[in-house]
Amino acid sequence: MAGGTGSGLGAFVTQKLQNEYPSSLKMNQVIWPYGTGEVIVQNYNSILTLSHLYRSSDALLIHENDAVHKICAGRMNIKQISFRDLNQVLAHQLGSVFQPTYSEDGSFHYRRNPLGDLMEHLVPHPEFKMLSVRHIPQMSENSLAYSTFTWAGLLKHLRQMLISSAKVEEGIDWQVRPPPSGLPPLGKMSVHKDPHFNTSIANLAILRGKDVQSADVGKHNFR
């Protein structure tokens, strides 16, 4: 989104598709630029592109370059990070979302319309269409061969990543806790010191691996 040509062309094509196929679902996967700056007008380009895509697309799946870079550096121990490394992380995340899944009752359910399936779960209202992905574990394939995990441990970390708005495992704030049921009176609301609790309109947990049927997703309350 930082560059004018690619982001502008993408927004233009999306708008044309919306005009030609208004009843078809459209999702844009966009890359938020580095915070340090790639081009001098990246902030302007990003906001301009996002405003056009928000009107033309049904969902925006946003990845942040800074977060993906941290995964490559901190979790995969890559010394010289290239675009190939960044794209591998992105491809892994997208593949985990769009590949076929089993339904909760254990029967094989091939999603003939995976995009519609995601929209149904994650975009309950057309004005709330900005999506993000969190995945775990975050490590290289070589490290996975020497690591063991439990579903309970993975789900615990994943839920804390969600409520603390962490994109990388090392950024998890374990001090963040869900607020009590209901909101306190306006005069008694604390606006400082309390750790920020990330609130989501909708969430979808997709599990892949051995003994996935033993994972107790309901226990961890992904809300």
44-82 per-position pLDDT tens digit: 888 999 999 999 999 999 999 999 999 999 988 899 999
Assigned domain for 26 exists: no
Which carries the bigger pLDDT value, residue 39 or residue 38?
Answer: 39
Confidence class for position 211, pLDDT limits 50, 70, 90: confident
Q: What is the pLDDT of residue 156?
A: 92
Assigned domain for 41 exists: no
Assigned domain for 186 exists: yes
Q: Give the pLDDT mean for 215-222.
A: 73
Question: In this predicted structure, which of 25-39, 49-63, 79-93 has the lowest mean pLDDT?
Answer: 25-39
| pTM for the predicted model, two decimal places | 0.83
DSSP 3-state percent helix, strand, coil across the chain (nearest 5): 45, 10, 50
Q: What is the pLDDT of residue 189?
A: 52
Residues with Cβ within 8 Å of residue 172, at least 6 apart in sequence: 157, 160, 161, 164, 166
Assigned domain for 215 exists: yes
The mean predicted confidence, pLDDT, of the chain is 84
Assigned domain for 165 exists: yes
d(CA 52, CA 45): 11
Q: Closest Cα partner for 39 from 70, 75, 65, 68?
A: 65
Containing domain of residue 89, as a range? Answer: 58-220
Please state the domain count of the chain: 1
Residue 21 has pLDDT above 90, yes or no: yes
Assigned domain for 202 exists: yes
d(CA 35, CA 49): 17
Assigned domain for 46 exists: no
Phi, psi of 182 (to 5 degrees): 80, 160
Q: Which residues, listed in sequence order, are joined to residue 61 by a DSSP beta bridge?
A: 29, 131
Assigned domain for 102 exists: yes
Residue 183 has pLDDT above 90, yes or no: no
Confidence class for position 141, pLDDT limits 50, 70, 90: confident
Q: Give the pLDDT mean for 99-109.
A: 64
Residue 197 has pLDDT above 60, yes or no: yes
